Amino acid sequence: MAVSDRIRGISESPTLALNARVRELKANGADILNFTAGEPDFRTPDNVGKAGMRAIEAGMTKYTPVAGTPELRKAIAEKLERENGLGYGPGNVIVTAGGKQALYNAVMAICNPGDEVIIPAPYWVTYPEQVKLSGAAPVFAGTRKEDGFALKASAVEEKVGRKTRALMINSPNNPTGAVCPESELRKIAAIARDNDFYVISDEIYEHLVYGGSHVSIAGMGGMKERTIIVNGGSKAYAMTGWRIGWAAGPEDVVKGMTKLQSHTTSNASSVSQAAYLEALGGSQDAVKSMASEFRKRRDVIVKGLSGIPGIECPEPQGAFYVFPDITACLGKGIRDSLGLSARLLEEAGVATVPGSAFGCEGHLRLSYACSTDTIREGVERIGKFVESI
């Protein structure tokens, strides 16, 4: 018997599939340098891990309220006030099993079949698939390499139509590392207000900005009631495996998201919630230390890749990815970014993600959430491979 049309209509996550392939190759003894994972290579901060262990020892292993423990929802609201200048109450917050679930809950809560959701490209691979699952249609707004892939309000405005239900923003961006300037966010906010649509703002990389500071569109006039902020512990606190995320937004939307979650995963892990409560309320030294190290790694990989003839590597302003232009490397049997990525894996032992996975041909994504030694060795292998072709 066949699977549903809904499932046939979406694609497997290429980044997770590639990461699984790399693990398989390594398990079989292959010497592979992995640049595919959007996962910090640091340990979860000790104080956070110990809080999780204390929760287990204290028997905090039962169901929690679907939307999260009252203590954690209150702490998230306080974080939004303290760090972002946004006044939310616990009723505006839902805790989820990772940021990905928060995004899915948000899309499902606000979209109807036939709606359209504007997604800037290049985009994280999951955005369009989640929109499709809701019955809505993704509409892609392009960004330009010349602008550092930063989203322009004019690109959004071109795609707004009578069916537009929402815009998804990811700043800092995966895969490009682009940060949307405050001036453009204000123009985008005006477009959202004038055309009466929601903004889903994925701010998971907010603590990884290397120039200036993070600005949330929710803080702009008239936007709090039409913005759903998505965030979590995965990137800033190296808590990918803990699966802890959250969303903040209008209370009626959050109630809808909670209703959906009550029939899917119920609550996020009780132990993970206890650990994340410590992450928000405890020392932030580890967050600052990781961000500083990521910046150093960014400088190393950008300089290394830019020194390879045929590769152009813009300097990302946030997150932990570079998105080099490799069009000059194509030809001679390599037709596209997928072909180059495959050859690099098989012949150079370097795992990358093709730009086509993110809706942008002619590029590769490399994560620098790995050691400086790995970055230097990977750049050297890429350089030798490019020279050979």
User: Residue 16: what pLDDT?
Assistant: 75
Distance CA 264, CA 119 (A): 25
- The DSSP string of 34-62 is E----S--SPPPHHHHHHHHHHHHTT--S
Could you tell me if residue 200 is inside a domain? yes
One-letter amino acid identity for 24?
E
Distance CA 135, CA 353 (A): 28
Same domain, 255 and 167: yes
Name the phi and psi angles at 339, rounded to 5: -65, -40
pLDDT digits (tens, 9 = 90+) for 371-386: 999 999 999 999 999 9
User: Residue 2: what pLDDT?
Assistant: 85
pLDDT bin (cut points 50, 70, 90) of residue 13 is confident
Same domain, 29 and 154: no
Q: Which long-range contacts (CB under 8 A, 24 or more apart) does 369-373 make?
A: 369/37, 369/38, 369/39, 369/40, 369/41, 369/294, 369/320, 370/33, 370/34, 370/35, 370/37, 370/41, 370/297, 371/41, 372/296, 372/297, 372/300
User: Would you say residue 251 has pLDDT above 90?
Assistant: yes
Of 281, 306, 322, at which residue does a domain stop?
Answer: 281
Distance CA 191, CA 387 (A): 47
Could you tell me if residue 293 is inside a domain? yes
Q: What is the pTM of this model?
A: 0.95
- Structural domain boundaries enclosing 155: 62-281
Of 252, 281, 310, at which residue does a domain stop?
Answer: 281
The structure tokens listed for 305 are 């890749």
Distance CA 251, CA 258 (A): 10
Distance CA 368, CA 223 (A): 34
Buried b (16+ CB within 10 A) or exposed e, 219-251: bbeebbebbbbbbbbbbbbbbbebbbbbbbbbe
SS3 call for 331: strand
Same domain, 182 and 242: yes
User: Would you say residue 42 has pLDDT above 90?
Assistant: yes
User: Residue 130: what pLDDT?
Assistant: 97
Neighbours of 294 (CB within 10 A): 22
Q: Kindly state the DSSP code that residue 292 receives in the 8-state scheme.
A: H
Could you tell me if residue 55 is inside a domain? no
Could you tell me if residue 51 is inside a domain? no
pLDDT digits (tens, 9 = 90+) for 149-208: 999 999 999 999 999 999 999 999 999 999 999 999 999 999 999 999 999 999 999 999
The total number of structural domains that make up the chain = 2
pLDDT digits (tens, 9 = 90+) for 231-242: 999 999 999 999
Region 255-262 average pLDDT: 98
Q: What is the CATH number of the domain that holds 252?
A: 3.40.640.10
pLDDT bin (cut points 50, 70, 90) of residue 11 is confident
Same domain, 101 and 247: yes
Give the list of residues 6+ apart from residue 179 with CB closer than 8 angstroms, or none.
150, 171, 172, 173, 209, 211, 212, 214, 317, 318
Distance CA 277, CA 271 (A): 10
Same domain, 193 and 230: yes
